[in-house]
Structure 1
């Protein structure tokens, strides 16, 4: 699955990172607690979250996450967008709630990875 596929499945909007739409996404992680994301040890993942602060982008960078999807229509501020651009991370937003967004991706074959 690609970032573009994630965008389509979730009826999402791209905030930044259009150049990364063809990047492969192998697994997904849905969390609002960044400690949970740190326990999730897969790379080339998409992170679904309702948390909107710079720590989300920093955590995503550490975990080699290629795309962050903000659920419930949340939108990051300019500082977060700038940080994501610097780190090469695509940012998307969707109106779906976390549970629904994860379910839609799962239904289309995207799975979560094992925690370490």
Structure 2
């Protein structure tokens, strides 16, 4: 599923970068507010759904190869978080919906969960 389709489903929008590639292909989703879990359980190319709106979410996504972070609950995004996303090469998005609802929508649309295979 393309990022633009994901954003339509969850009524989300891109925060940064302004010229984000909406054609990024998303097939798996990880959801966590604990960046240590993201480091341990994520897969490159997956979408991260989180309520954490600090620069750490963008930095962590960049380290593990996650191209898109979707911040839930309409959190205010600090300029430092936007900067971290841009420096990490991560597309930063936001939605008003909560994490549980977003995960349900994306799962129902056919996106698969990320599992720790190790």
Q: Name the TM-score, length of structure 2 as normaliser.
A: 0.92
Per the alignment, residue 8 of structure 1 pairs with 8
Task: Say if 2:14 and 2:20, in contact at 8 Å, map to a contact too.
Answer: no
Output the CA distance in 1 between the equivalents of 2:77 and 2:46: 19
Per the alignment, residue 114 of structure 1 pairs with 115
For structure 2, the 5+ residue unaligned runs are none
Task: Say if 2:49 and 2:70, in contact at 8 Å, map to a contact too.
Answer: yes
Task: Say if 2:2 and 2:26, in contact at 8 Å, map to a contact too.
Answer: yes
RMSD (Å) for aligned C-alpha atoms = 1.2
Tell me the CA shift for residue 26 of structure 1.
Answer: 2.1
For structure 1, the 5+ residue unaligned runs are none
Over residues 71-108 of structure 1, what are the superposed CA-to-partner deviations in whole Å (9 max), with x where a residue is unaligned? Answer: 01113211110121122211111111100000000000
4+ runs deviating over 2 angstroms: none
Output the CA distance in 2 between the equivalents of 1:104 and 1:54: 26
Per the alignment, residue 103 of structure 1 pairs with 104
Task: Say if 2:33 and 2:52, in contact at 8 Å, map to a contact too.
Answer: yes
Tell me the CA shift for residue 42 of structure 1.
Answer: 1.0
**Secondary structure at the counterpart of residue 65 of structure 1:** coil
Output the CA distance in 1 between the equivalents of 2:3 and 2:49: 12
